[in-house]
Chains A and B, each alone.
Chain A
Amino acid sequence: MPKNIVVAEDFNTSRKIIVSTLTKEGYNVMEAVDGKEAAELFDGRTIDLLITDFNMPNMNGAELIKAVREKQEYVYIPILLLTTEVREDKIQQAIEGNITAWIKKPFKSDHFIKIVNKALR
């Protein structure tokens, strides 16, 4: 069974690149254009990994992560955060202790896949 990944990213080009990279790798990908749309996908179905941007309209990355972690089924799923700023204080505070790893944008696709594969082990 392919693993299910939710990708939340408002910037279209980035999201499309990520989705196509993951699809090629054989993963089952669900896309969301903002945090709110992504949060709605966490409705009890099996989700193995969340990859999310930080700055998004409607619901930002920190709020999304908080919402996901509050649901029993998703307390321990791996979450990868995409950021341009590594460890900016604001982000740091918001999600410290809640995510698995940071992926700094822009990223190289083989590095990205390596991290995703590792998170899904």
Chain B
Amino acid sequence: MDFLQEYIEEVKGILKDLENSMMTLEKDFDDPEEINNAYRFLHTIKGSAGMFEFHDVEKLAHELENIYSDIRDGDRQADNFVIDLTLHAVDILSDMIDGKDAKAEAEKLISDINELRAVEGEARASGGGGSEGGAEEEDGLKTFAVIIKPENNIFKRGINFESILEELFELGKTDMIIHNESIPYEKQLAEKNLVSTFEVLLATENSEEDVSDVFLFMQENEYKVIPLRSVADFSNADYAALITIDEEGLERRITQIKELNPDFSMEATVEEIVEETAEEKEAKANMRAAGAAQFADDEDTSEKMMQRKSKKASTVSVATTKLDQMVNIVSELVIFRSEFQHLLDGNERPEISEALEKMERLILRLRDSAFNVRLVPLNVLTVKLQRLIRSVSQELGKEVDFITEGMDTELDRSMISALEAPLLHLIRNALDHGIESPELREKRNKPRKGLLKFYSYNSGDHVFIQIQDDGNGLNFEKIRKKAVEKGMIAEGQPASEKDLINLMMSPGFSTADHVSKVSGRGVGMDVVKKDIAAIRGDLEVSTEEELGSIFTIRLPLTLTILDTLVVNVNDSKYLIPISEVEFAYTMDHAELFKKKSRQVNYNGQLMPFVSLREYFEIEEEPPVQETVIIINKNDTRIAIVVDIIAGKLQTVYKPLNELLRPADCFSGASILGDGSMALILNALKLKS
């Protein structure tokens, strides 16, 4: 049973890799590495599925693999259709691996694949030209050149080289040329020291796969099976990279191959190939170099693969509950440190202070690494976003370039999962309402293809995610009309752009003229905003009509630890997140309340203030001097008046329970060093 679980996990990983491959392939249909990767992934899935009786998985993977082997062999081109087909297959395969019944869908897809391949095959067969009767050739006699360069240690690996050659000879008619036979082959065998390169010409009814199967125990760099379709294949880059053939050698091989396979196609005569112009010679040399480079590349990728494997081996997957527990303990520790500090207040000895400082530094480091463990780069979402963009833009008939930046920005894992829905929603909106149709874009002198940028970065103790499109921009006239229609504002009531944006994000507002399949799902911007607020983030919009919009999400780096300013109001303590504090100063109570307008002058600007004493309806006499704190949250400013600033405190954020939720002037609560509780102020909500 364990094996099965392991297998399922593994296949899912491979399916993800395959998805990634498709995204890369989409940018460059000719990317040989990705084509090869896709082939390899499918091959692995196919190979292992049978072991666990996932026969439908095996079958679908096999059919799809055929397409990629066609592409690899140059018999077909990768295109959007193939990518669509593959992505669809990924979905079906992962359903099947999960034990869902997707047999009908799988069969439908397989018939699509077969149809595609049949059409291609016909096209090739009726295309005339070089090879006559493509389909027939499949079953007939095929010719291969097999080049074997065993490594020195082949015998030590327990491989019987002679038996491998024998097995190869058994496949059909063969002829062998031994290169670099400075030591006679027999002697090389007897001394268990192979130095030669073996070139075998083979005419067989078996497939290329059967031929490769002979070399099951050999390493990829020890042999190469080259299909020979015509004389020209002797100058094939793979061949050239391993063996140099001169004029005489070519004639000899042609004679040999003719003997093995009388039907061997002679597209070019010997003279034509040999009497090549200087230009061709140069081209050939380039090809050779390219071939060699490809070999080097192969090595390179296998090295990379190894690195990837070893990277995998050095990571440990940990249950998220364990991580949560660790963070909780660290949070408790932070509180305990404050408590300790509190106990010492007044009678500190220098040694103790020093020790405490050391402890503080360690706790900070512990905190940082505990949070680090929970961080996940945003790029875990990339593929999801890309797929959404693909399907939505196709659905809407829009063309769009998707550019991501800073996807390695890390966020708390719980935030990433909470962000998924709002991000997908914003992107859907940008495609539906933002980016115009290609025709309209042309009219507006914009490139046909829209641009959707998704970028993320760290700044201070916040992470920013921006989604930018170069489309319509917000239509404020439309938003205003809608708001009036919905009775949110009165006809003719002045409303700034900011107000309108806020209205747009309120419950019960949806600008879609008609409910479209894409963005009109009954979920409005208010839900997006609420989702983001739930992880203590903010959403902001800046827009320019006909130029586009930028949606900016600002998120706290961590969900639970907060640097705060402790303020006193009468006997109570309140906390204000330091990131929101712009400025603070003291002022006489009398001076402050001199005017009825309740405004302070800050940087030459009159700003309304809220006195917390008044707000909480405290009747007692205020102190002579009070403190004004200027709060700035996303460029919205408010001044609040408290008695005095008591200090700075690093606290652990605790959400409020349902009972206190309606008091939205508090965003949460925290425990102070002396064990008492303090509420965290959500200053902007004090305004009304």
List the interface of chain A (C-beta within 8 A of B).
69, 75-79, 84-89, 97-101, 105-108, 111, 115, 118-119, 121
Contact = CB atoms under 8 A, between A and B. Distances in A.
B156 interface: yes
Given A78-B158, A89-B310, A89-B313, A108 B50 contact: yes
A108 B51 contact: yes
B216 interface: yes
A99 B310 contact: no
Interface in B412-435: none
User: Which of B157, B159, B216 has its CB near the most chain A CB atoms (within 10 A)?
Assistant: B157
B306 A100 contact: no
A79 B306 CA distance: 23
B51 A97 contact: no
Interface size range of chain B in the complex: 20 to 34
Contact of A100 (B51, B157, B167, B309): B157
A115 B159 contact: no
B615 interface: no
Nearest to A89: B310
A77 to B, nearest CB: 5
Given A79-B158, A99-B157, A99-B158, A107 B313 contact: no
A15 to B, nearest CB: 16
Contacts of B310: 88-89
Contacts of B160: 76, 78, 121
Nearest to B216: A118
A49 to B, nearest CB: 8
B192 A76 contact: yes
A82 to B, nearest CB: 13
24 contacts: A69-B156, A75-B155, A76-B158, A78-B159, A86-B309, A87-B306, A87-B309, A88-B309, A89-B306, A89-B309, A89-B313, A97-B153, A97-B156, A97-B157, A100-B157, A100-B158, A100-B217, A105-B3, A106-B3, A108-B50, A108-B51, A118-B216, A121-B160, A121-B163
Contacts of B156: 69, 75-76, 97-98
Nearest to A107: B51
B217 A101 contact: yes
State the main secondary structure of chain B at its contact with A: helix
Contacts of B3: 105-106
A85 B51 contact: no
Contacts of A88: 309-310, 313
A36 B142 CA distance: 50
Interface string B203-242: 0000000000000110000000000000000000000000
A85 B167 contact: no
A85 B313 contact: yes
Contacts of B157: 79, 97-100
A8 to B, nearest CB: 15
A78 B163 CA distance: 12
Contacts of B192: 76
Contacts of A89: 306, 309-310, 313
B422 to A, nearest CB: 39
A118 B166 CA distance: 12
Contacts of B216: 101, 115, 118
Interface string B145-178: 0000000010111111001001100000000000
Nearest to A88: B313
B45 to A, nearest CB: 14
A101 B213 CA distance: 13
A118 to B, nearest CB: 6
Listed from nearest, the 8 A-B pairs whose CB atoms lie closest are A78-B158, A100-B158, A121-B163, A97-B153, A108-B51, A106-B3, A89-B310, A101-B217
A4 B153 CA distance: 24
Nearest to A86: B309
B167 to A, nearest CB: 7
